[in-house]
Structure formats: structure tokens, C-alpha cells
Structure 1
Amino acid sequence: MLFSSEFFVLVFLPTVWLGYQSMLRMAWPRAAAAWLVISSLVFYSWFEPLHLLLLLGMIVGNYGAGLVLARLPQGRRRLLLTLAIGADLGILAYYKYANFLIANLNALSPLELGFQTIVLPIGISFFTFQLVAWLVDAHKGAARDYGFLDFCLFVCFFPQLIAGPIVHHAEMIPQFRQLASRRPGAADIAGGLILFTIGLFKKIVIADHVAPIADSVFAAAETGASLDPLSAWCGTLAFTVQIYFDFSAYSDMALGMGLLFGIRLPINFASPYKAVSIIDFWRRWHITLSRFLRDYVYIPLGGNRRGPSRRHVNLLATMLIGGLWHGAAWTFVAWGALHGLYLVVNHAWQVRRDRLGLPAGCLGPAGPWLARSLTFFCVAAAWVFFRAESFGGAAAILAGLAGATAGAPTANATVGAGELVLLLAILAGTWFLPNAPEIAAAFRPALEPVPEKPVARLVRRLVEAPTAVPLVAGVATSSALVLVLAYQGFNIDRMQAFIYFQF
């Protein structure tokens, strides 16, 4: 059930919200929580009803394991923790990596194992990581004795269930326990609708519009077609734009829907193409995944506590896991390895710069833009491996980017200067315009404080007017409905699932 679909916008979301508001008005906070759980389970089962049994089984199993871990003596917890995490990761491995493993075994040995017919449960990578964090914290004694209803809502709250953010129990369950005092007010509703509408615009007007450009170029590369530099750059920049606006759209819509229910989610996306280094990029892109990998992979491996060489190994290992988390293909592993190498170089440069006594702004006023440009081109080059279906396809794109091939692309991949100008104009918006949480900062849209930019202060002044909140809410709602109806009516063939649904 896509957030950008007519059914979701016109039927599902209004129905769930009205039911939730009605129960809170009648002072039934537990009933409101149960309503959200039931609605979230319906939302999840829409794609494949049988996967609902898997989700429920993992919820019950991990909740029980967490309670037992919290009560066991410290010395007896490790075995149960290992078994519980092993079960979670085993389920994830079966659904996501079984055929990948079979393909590699067949390629490396005389075995001829048959492939399994497996439908990947959507969102399994996201809620599996949430459950692993819960188990680890229960083992440490850092997870409280939560009620089952609140735990269910923590795992399956539908705004973030399918593609994040990867929320932490300590930041979400206390909110679910206080629903009676968190009844969304007019400002929450207005802010939520603004964020949802901005996300909807990003998805259906920008991300889905540029997707065919990327699809045609990368499809041509997979056939072995020779790509000229213009086509290669257009295809690469098109996917760079597509994944940015696709993922930021989901993140904005998740924040907005959380706000509609009086729940604040963590920010997961903070203008990553404004990053001035790869370290900065991973503080802005998929922030909650970076947080999980840092807290539950990088630090347990030793972090930076055992010298620079071990830190570099830990960074590479962490990013390899992050790449494999995204997909069961060696191209994702290469993408993770490339970012791991970027991070190693970035950290090594910082150490060298400090030893030489060079200030952070040693390149003068142009320094931040030079750093931003270099970071962007490194990120865009890595996206080639993320998007390509094979190393041959990635090599064809990279050769075209470098101007190392001759000839023209196939007819299906024909692009021109107009597409390049459009893509550069859209990218300029990512570099110079505020992001959605910054625009809606006056509404406190997330768990973290959001700095108010000039546009946010303007929004605040508008909101402080007596009739502004209903007006803003009405305009945002009307805009969302017009966007959905117009786009779905005239461009239904371009509607695509969110990219991160496949992870």
C-alpha cells in the first residue's frame, strides 16, 4: 500500500486517523493504541497476508526473549541473546539471502542447487534491526519492562514500518505510553499535513518523473551498449536525484504521519547532498541506519579504541555489512566497500590535517563548496554500483562517465541536454533550498530539535495568526489530494514503489 496511492491518501489514512482521534476524545488511550496496532497490521498484510504471520511471530518471540533476558542472571544471558539474535538474523538471511547464497555456491562448485521461490517480506530488514537492538539492550539491562501492546506498536507503527526510520524502543515506547497526553492539536495536524504533502510532491512529481531516465540508461548498460558521456552522466544523475527524492519523500511522509498522530519520529534524512565530507554524508543519509551500525556493529567491533589501523578495518567491516543489508548482490557489497574506503580516507585525512596543524577552513571561502562538490561526485559514482544489476552494467556506466567509450546508446536510452539541465536544476534545489523538517521547524516535527531557517520563521509567524493553522491544514490537504488525483489520473504508468521497500 503505497503512501502515494489514491487508496492510502483518500481512504486508509483518513479512516485510521479519524478512528484514532475518536478514541482519544473518548479518553480511551489503550483502545487508541490497539487501533493503531490493528491498522498497522492491516497495512502490512496488504502486500502479502501470509507475511503477517511472520511479523507477529517475530514480535511475540522477541518480546518474550527480551523479558526473559531482563530477568536472567547476568552470567546466563549471553546464550539466550545469541540464540534470539541468531533466530532473527536466520529468518532475515533465509528470505533475503538464500538464493544469493545458492547462486554463489553453484558458481564456485559443481553443485546445481535449485533456487527457492521466496517472496521477500517488505520492511523485514528494518524491523529486524529494531528487534536486534531491543534484544541487545535487554541483555545489557537497558530495556525496560514494556507492555506487550506498546511493544507491538513500537515494531509495527505503520508510518515507519516499511522503510524506516529504524526507531529505538527508548525513544518510541514512552510516547506510546502517553497517548492520552499526546492527542494531536491543530499545530500538529497542520505540520503533519505540510510534511506529508511535501513528501508526496517529491515522490510523484520528482522521483517518479526522473526514474525512467535512470531506468533506460542502466538497462542499456546491462545489454552491453556503448554509452556516450552525456547519456552516462544523465543516467547517473537521474538515479542520484531519484533515490534522494524517493527516500527523502518517504522520510518526510513518515514524519508527517507521525505528527498527525501526535508521535514524533527521529529525523532520518537531513539534506545529505549538502555534506562536506563522507563522514558528514553518513550523518545526514539514513541517519538511523548509521546510528544502528555505529552502536551495534562498529563500537562492538572495537570502534576507534584500538588504534587507527583497527579503526579502518572496523569501518570497512561495518560498511560491508551496511552494503549487504541493502541487497543480496555483490554490487551492494561493492557499494558498501566503496563507502568504507571513502570513510577510511576521510578519517586518515583528518588525522593528517590535524598533525600538520591545518585549520578546517584552510582552503578559504571556496573550501566548503570544493569539499561539497568532491563529496557529491564520490557519492554519485558509488550510486552506480547501487543501481546497476551487474558489474558489467556498472563498468559500462563508469566508462561512459569517463568518456572511455565511443558510440551512442540504444534508442531506449536516448537522452539529451534537456534532461541534463533538468537534473542539474533539481540538484541545485538540494544544495540551496531548506529541507522539509527545516520548513516545518515551527511545528517541532521530530524528536530532535530542528534549527529554524528564515523560511521556518516565516511559517511560524503565519501559524501564530489566529486563523492560520486551519488555513494551512486546509491548503496542505487540498494540495495533497490534487497532487494524488492529478498525477495518478494522468501518469499512472509512472507510479513506482519506494526504492527502500525492496530492502
Structure 2
Amino acid sequence: MLFNSYEFIFAFLPFTFFIYFYLNKKRLTKASNFFLVASSLFFYSWWNPIYLPLILISMIFNYVIGTSLTKNKEYRKVSKKQLLTIAIVANIALLGYFKYSDFFISNVNFVLGTEIALLCLALPLAISFFTFQQIAYLVDSYRGKIKEYDFMNYAIFVTFFPQLIAGPIVHHKEMMPQFANVRNKVINYKNIAFGLFIFSIGLFKKVVMADTFAVWATAGFDEATTLSLFEAWATSLSYTFQLYFDFSGYTDMAIGAALLFNIKLPINFNSPYKATDIQDFWRRWHITLTRFLREYIYIPLGGNRKGNFRTYINLMAIFIIGGFWHGAGWTFIFWGFLHGFALVLHRAWSSLGFKLYTWLAWLVTFNFVNIAWVFFRAKEWDDALKVLSGMLGLSGINLPNILSGKLAFLNHYGIEFGNFVINIKGDNFTPLWLLFGFILILVFRNTNQRINRFRLSKDNIIFYGVLCGVFLFVGVMFIGSESEFLYFNF
């Protein structure tokens, strides 16, 4: 079930909300927890019920291992470390089987000249997210940070529907105290107001902004055979904006939906395209994934405690792993390599005491991120090369007809006029949309800032109510044909 669907907005969400709090009002806490888990599993299985047993088996397995890791050593036949290793390997093997089998088979066929048949497995929804989330739970249990002996509580932690499909990747210790808090069992009208407001912003981001940019990005990457200079830049920027508004929109909707239940999810975005260096970017983009990679891979590998060379190796490792986590393809791995290499360069540059003007640092950072996204989006290497060559002007330059009168002399230099966005299904409004995208990401406050500043009073209640109503109305009107969130594919 999609957040941007009529079924979710007008049926599932209000029904789940009212029944959950009704049961809590009657002090049927266990029943309310069971209902929330059942609703979340229904939400998950709406997409494809065949994978419902998979998440159930995964939950039971990790719950049993997690509780075992909290017991005393003398009651075990294996050490805690061995048990943790077995559990992590099992989780990664499950993820690898569904997500990476065909990738490895196709590479074996290419290298050895074999003809092993591909498995062509459908990727189970949310498997990348609930796998990482449960690995974090196991490691925290091993470290003695968690003691969870109630399976229903654990099931809520894994399946809570606002964050189940595409994150944020949450920790047990930051979620379960909220569910255990008695005050959170009662309807909180301030949380409802702010939750609906944030949800409406996320819906607008997705169905108005992201889905508009998706048309040009899809046409440029998947359909066009060649791209002129402006078409190529419009294609890359459209995907850069599509990905941001799509994923941050999902996160806003998740935060907003969770607030209805008095649960505060961690912030996943903090204006990442305002970053002035690549390290700053990763402090702002997909924050919970960065946190996971840092705490459970980078630091165990040694972090920055074993000299510069080892630090650089560790940085490369976590970003290549991060790229591979996003998708089973060499383009994803190369995207991770680019970001890892950029982090290494940034650390080396900073250690020498060099600095750039703020505006130049932003320009370099944004353009690097934008170019790297080309490899992230491209289905094949040829698609990436097509866009990049167009961005360099190697496939010709077309300008709008309106400029032909004053700039006609440019014809002598091979520059043409007219049809300047025809290959990406664009029109004269495409440049204005790109400008609008820049304004939204660089000028306006983000969700995190709005959460910190939100104060509902008699003076602003009408303003927030009208703004929320406008966002919801426009969002619902734009739903039309449902579109998946991009991170469903990862």
C-alpha cells in the first residue's frame, strides 16, 4: 500500500488510528499492540502477500537470537560472538539471495562464459530496510544495550507501518520507550495537527514535485537516444530533484503518520543539497543509513583510529557497501566508489588546511552529487555515458526559439534553435520547474527546522490549517495514477 494512495489516506490510516486509540482508551493495551502489528502486516502484504511469511520468519529468527544474546554465557553451547556472527550471516544471506543472486550469476556467466539460468526473483518489499534494522538490533543486544523479552513489542519495532517500507532505519532503544510511554496511548491533538501538516508537505513533495521531475528524468535516461546540452542537464537535475523530493517526501509522510500515533521518528534529511562539502552532505542525506554504516561497519573496522591510510580504506569500504546495498549493479557500486573517493579527497584536502569560498564549495559539492547520481540512476553504463556526454555538449547544443533572433550568429558555431527539450518530453515550463526546485531546496526551511519551530497557538492555527488543507487538497488532486516511491526498489 502506498502512502500516496486513496486507500491509505482515506481508509487505512484513519481506521487504524481510531481503532488503536479506542482499544487504548479501553485499557486493552495488548490488544492495541496486536492490532497495530496486524495492521502493519496488512499494510505490508497489500503489496504482495506472498512475502508476508518471509518477514514473519525473519522477525521470529532475530527475536529468538536477540533474546539469547542477552542471557548468561553458561546457558549457551556457543559464545555470544559466534551466535551474533551466525545471525548476521543468516540475515545477509537472506538479503543476498533475493537481491543479489542474479547479479552474481550474471557476472559468473560473463567471466567464465557459462550459461547459468538467472533466478529472476522479485525483490521482497522493504527487505533491505528491515534487514539492516534487525542487524542493528542484534548488535545492540550483543553489546548489552537491549533487553527485549516480549515478541509483540519486538514485532511493533520491526513492522510499525510508517517506517516499515523505506525507513528511516530506527533503533530499538529510540522506539520502544515511546510505545511503552503511557501518555502516548492517549490522543494528542497537537501531534495530530503537526503530523497532518508534515504528512501533507510530504504528499506534495511526492505527487507534485517528484512525479513531475520523474517524467523528464525517465525520458532522458530510458527513452532518448541522444541528449543535447540542455536536455542532458535537465535530465540529470530532474533526477537529482526527483530522488530528493521522492525520498524526503516519503520520510515526511512517515514522520507525519507516526506522529498521529504519538511516535517521533528520527529525521532522515536535513537540507542535503545545501551542503558545502561531501562530508556535510552525508551528515544531511539519508541520515539513518549513514548512522548505521558508521556505527556498525565503519567504527568496528577501526574508524579513524588506526592512521590516515586505514581511515581512507574504511571510508571506501563503507561507501562501496552503501552503494551495493542500494542496488545489485556495477553502476551502484561505482556510485559508492565515487562518494568514498570524494570523502578521502575531502579529508586529505582538509588536513592540508585548504578552504574554498562558501559559494564555490557549494557549487562543487552540488555538481559532484548531481553527476554521481547519473550513475546511480542509469540502468546501464551506456545510459550514464549518454547523459554525461550530453552534459559536456558532445551531442549538440539546442537553445529555445525565443533566443534565435538575438543569438542567430551562434548558428555558425553549430548551435541550433528550437526543440531544445523535445527528447525528454519537456516544454517551455521545464526550466521554470528546475528553478522552482532550486528555490525549494535552498531557500525554504526543511522538516527538521519546522519540527523544532512548530508552535500551535490561536494566532497561527488558521494559517497552519489553511496551509495543510492546501497541500492535502493539491496532493490528493495530483494522485491520479499511483506511482511507487523510488526507494521501494532498494
Q: Same fold (TM over 0.5)?
A: yes
The CA deviation at 1:27 is 2.3
The residue aligned with 1:386 is 376
With 170-179 and 302-311 compared, the bigger mean Cα shift is at: 170-179
Go from structure 1 to structure 2 and tell me whether the alpha carbon gap of 1:183 and 1:164 turns closer, same or farther (over 3 Å shift).
same
Tell me, in whole angstroms, the C-alpha distance in 2 between the residues paired with 1:476 and 1:137.
41
Are the counterparts in 1 of residues 298 and 315 from structure 2 also a CA contact under 8 Å?
Answer: yes
User: Match of 1:446?
Assistant: none
Q: 1:407 to 1:278 in 2, by over 3 A?
A: closer
1:91 maps to: 94
Rounded to whole Å, the distance in 2 between the matches of 1:333 and 1:17 is 41
Q: Is the 8 A contact 1:33 1:176 kept in 2?
A: no
**Alpha-carbon offset, residue 180 of structure 1:** 4.8
Equivalent residue, structure 2, for 1:192? 195
Whole-Å separation in 2 of the counterparts to 1:138 and 1:264: 22
Counterpart check, 1:465 vs 2:458: yes
Are the aligned partners of 1:220 and 1:410 in contact in 2 as well (CA < 8 Å)? Answer: no
Question: Does the alignment pair 1:133 with 2:123?
Answer: no
Q: Secondary structure at the match of 1:283?
A: helix
Map Cα deviations across residues 346-380 of structure 1 (whole Å, 9 max, x no partner).
11111111xxxx6xxx65xxx22221121111100
Contact 1:203 1:246 in 2 (8 A): yes
> What is residue 81 of structure 2 aligned with on the other side?
78
Contact 2:215 2:425 (C-alpha < 8 Å) held by counterparts: no
How far 1:413 sits from its partner (Å)? 2.5
SS of equivalent to 1:464: coil
Q: Which amino acid aligns with 2:474?
A: L
C-alpha distance in 2 between matches for 1:390 and 1:117? 18
CA offset at residue 177 of structure 1?
1.7
What amino acid does structure 1 have at the position aligned with 2:147? Answer: R
Aligned to 1:370: 360
Check conservation: 1:195, 1:437, Cα contact below 8 A: no
**Whole-angstrom distance in 1 between the partners of 2:267 and 2:97:** 30
* 1:278-298 Cα deviation digits (max 9, x unpaired): 101111100000000000111
Q: CA deviation at 1:143?
A: 1.6
The answer for the alignment partner of 1:501 in structure 2 is: 488
Q: Quickly say closer, same or farther: Cα 1:417–1:316, change in 2 above 3 A.
A: farther
Give distance in 1, aligned partners of 2:344 and 2:64. 40
Distance change >3 Å, CA 122–CA 472, structure 1 → 2: farther
Shift of residue 78 of structure 1?
1.6
C-alpha displacement of 1:424: 2.1
What's the CA shift for 1:149? 1.0
1:423 matched to 2:414? The reply is no
| Aligned partner of residue 71 in structure 1, secondary structure | coil
Q: What is residue 254 of structure 2 aligned with on the other side?
A: 254
Q: Which amino acid aligns with 2:385?
A: A
CA contact (8 A) 2:216 2:238 kept: yes
For the Cα contact (< 8 Å) 2:184–2:261, is it kept in 1?
no
The residue that corresponds to 1:438 in the other structure is: 449
* Counterparts of residues 401-420 of structure 1 (less than 5 Å): 401-406=391-396, 412-415=423-426, 418-420=429-431
**1:156 corresponds to:** 159
Alignment of 1:81-480 (within 5 A): 81-220=84-223, 225-353=225-353, 367-406=357-396, 412-415=423-426, 418-439=429-450, 441=451, 450=452, 452=453, 456=454, 460=455, 463-465=456-458, 475=466, 478-479=469-470
Gaps of 5+ in 1: 442-449
Q: In 2, distance between residues paired with 1:438 and 1:258?
A: 18
Q: Secondary structure in 2 aligned to 1:170?
A: helix
User: How far 1:28 sits from its partner (Å)?
Assistant: 2.4
In the aligned structure 1, how far is the partner of 2:219 from the partner of 2:334? 22
Contact kept, 8 Å, 2:184 with 2:262, in 1: the verdict is no
Instruction: Say if 1:231 and 1:414, in contact at 8 Å, map to a contact too.
Output: no
Q: 1:23 aligns to what?
A: 23
CA displacement, residues 328-359 of structure 1 (integer Å, 9 cap, x when unaligned): 11110011001101111111111111xxxx6x
TM-score (norm 1): 0.88
Tell me the distance in 1 between the aligned counterparts of 2:425 and 2:23: 55
For 1:416 and 1:231, locate their aligned partners in 2 and report how far apart those are by CA, in whole Å.
11
Contact kept? 1:67, 1:145, Cα under 8 Å: yes
Cα offsets for 1:107-158 (capped at 9, x unmatched): 1112111111311111100010011111111222222234211110000100
Q: Are residues 427 and 371 of structure 1, via their aligned partners in 2, closer, same or farther at CA, if it must alter by over 3 Å?
A: same
Q: Secondary structure at the match of 2:311?
A: helix
Deviations 1:29-54, CA, capped at 9 Å, x for gaps: 32222211110000001111121100
Mapped partners of 1:497, 1:251: distance in 2: 14
Question: Does the Cα contact within 8 Å between 1:37 and 1:152 map onto a contact in 2?
Answer: yes
Kindly report the root-mean-square deviation, in angstroms, between the aligned alpha carbons of the 2 structures: 2.0
User: What percent identity do the matched residue pairs reach?
Assistant: 44
Question: Against the structure 1 CA distance between its residues 210 and 125, is the aligned structure 2 distance closer, same or farther, given a 3 Å change threshold?
Answer: same
TM-score (norm 2): 0.91
